[in-house]
Amino acid sequence: MRRSAAMKAKRSELIYLSRINRVIDYISTHLADPLPLEKLARLAHFSPFHFHRIFRSLVGEPLHAFVRRLRLERAVAQMAHGPAATLTDIALRWGFGSPSDFSRAFRQAYGFRPRDYSRERFLQTSKIRQDLWANARYDVARRPRARNPDRFRVRLVDRPARRIAYVRVIGGYNAEKILGGFDRLMDWGRRHGLVPGATLIGMSRDDPEITPMSKYRYDWCLELPDKLSPYGNIGVIPANRFAVLHCRGDIHKVDRAWQYLFDAWLPRSGYQPSQEPALEVFRAHPLEVGWTTFDIDCCIPVKPLEKR
């Protein structure tokens, strides 16, 4: 039984690695082209919402940073070894929108302007750059061993469709805005007889590494009884199968729970995320336990992994 589970995990892992390597190979040969997230996610057969985090967990850096690094490395290689070209030509050849974009990215990465480049200066100013030169090719060879010091356990749960009322907060992880949205939902819930009692759910509509903080959306939700049709922002969480991890602890443990789900469990699970956002289902209400300890189910909507 254990051998069968191990073989299933290995097959799942290989499919994840194959899909991400396909994207890496495409990026490497199309650096001069636009590389929109939606196109790369489609190439990997993951939803755009979840693809970014899967890529980061397998490759070790965010997608945008990976693409920018490869473009910079190709530009530096041309500056060092030719063919000779203007900085404008180099910038456009390797996918930068303008010379100023190239100059800004170069200075952030290497600490000086591209027009001040010399091979000697480049090699002397940063050991990190020397490490990057050693990479002959870019791919994901294998996943590191899964570590689970918190002894997290993941279970698969089929949940029916649920009607929700929600308050949307736009503006990132601003504590005042987040708590303000929560208070508005609680006031609304009390007026409709839902608080206390109704299940509280948090739902991230965007990925903070993709969406600018000023536009990032977070929804506070209350489940609605079947017969209640109140006025307000009403939506539906579709029926789905969820990978559910119960977590009780401080905000740092919650963060480790999400990292474990995406980085360790998911690639070996035989599942991939579906299109819908992940959920935080509160087992204990913050009005009862406060905001220092959380008791939540971290839930990723999943579907069977297909070999593509």
Q: Are 243 and 261 in contact (CB under 8 A)?
A: yes
What is the rounded average pLDDT of the residues 143-162? 86
Per-residue pLDDT at 256 exceeds 50? yes
Per-residue pLDDT at 113 exceeds 90? no
Per-residue pLDDT at 257 exceeds 90? yes
DSSP 124: H
Q: Residue 142: which residues within 8 A CB-CB, separation 6 or more? A: 13, 17
For the chain, the average pLDDT equals: 85
Range of 10-14, 145-149, 157-161 with top mean pLDDT:
157-161
Displacement of CA 206 from its chain's centroid (Å): 9
Q: Counting beta carbons within 10 angstroms of the beta carbon of residue 6, is it exposed (0 to 12), middle (13 to 18) or buried (19 or more)?
A: exposed
In the chain, what are the helix, strand and coil shares in percent, each to the nearest 5?
A: 45, 20, 35
For residues 143 and 150, which has the higher predicted lDDT (pLDDT)?
150
Reported as a pLDDT band with limits 50, 70 and 90, residue 306 is confident
What is the rounded average pLDDT of the residues 71-100? 83
Instruction: Spell out the domain ranges in the chain.
Output: 2-133, 154-304
For residues 79 and 103, which has the higher predicted lDDT (pLDDT)?
103
Q: Do domains 2-133 and 154-304 have the same CATH topology?
A: no
Task: Encode pLDDT of 16-44 as tens digits.
Answer: 988 998 899 899 889 889 999 999 999 99
What is the rounded average pLDDT of the residues 133-151? 62
> Of 131-135, 216-220, 296-300, which range is least confident?
131-135
Q: What pLDDT was estimated at residue 122?
A: 67
Q: Are 32 and 95 in contact (CB under 8 A)?
A: yes
Task: Provide the terminal-to-terminal Cα distance of the chain, rounded to the nearest Å.
Answer: 27
Burial 222-258 (b: 16+ CB within 10 A, else e): bbbeeeeeeeeeeeebeebbbbbbebebeeeebebbb
Range of 139-153, 155-169, 225-239 with top mean pLDDT:
155-169
Tell me the fold of 154-304. Multidrug-efflux Transporter 1 Regulator Bmrr; Chain A (3.20.80)
Per-residue pLDDT at 207 exceeds 80? no
In percent, how much of the chain has pLDDT > 90?
38
Per-residue pLDDT at 8 exceeds 50? yes
For residues 127 and 10, which has the higher predicted lDDT (pLDDT)?
10
What is the rounded average pLDDT of the residues 56-76? 86
Per-residue pLDDT at 247 exceeds 80? yes
Per-residue pLDDT at 87 exceeds 80? yes
**Residue 197: how many CB atoms within 10 A of its CB?**
11
The model's pTM: 0.72
Q: What pLDDT was estimated at residue 186?
A: 95
What is the rounded average pLDDT of the residues 45-50? 90
Distance CA 85, CA 89 (A): 6
Q: What pLDDT was estimated at residue 73?
A: 80
Identity at 72, one-letter amino acid code: L
Per-residue pLDDT at 85 exceeds 80? yes
Q: Are 48 and 41 in contact (CB under 8 A)?
A: yes
Question: For the domain 2-133, what is the CATH superfamily, name and number?
Answer: Homeodomain-like (1.10.10.60)
Task: Encode pLDDT of 167-198 as tens digits.
Answer: 988 776 678 888 999 999 999 999 999 998 99
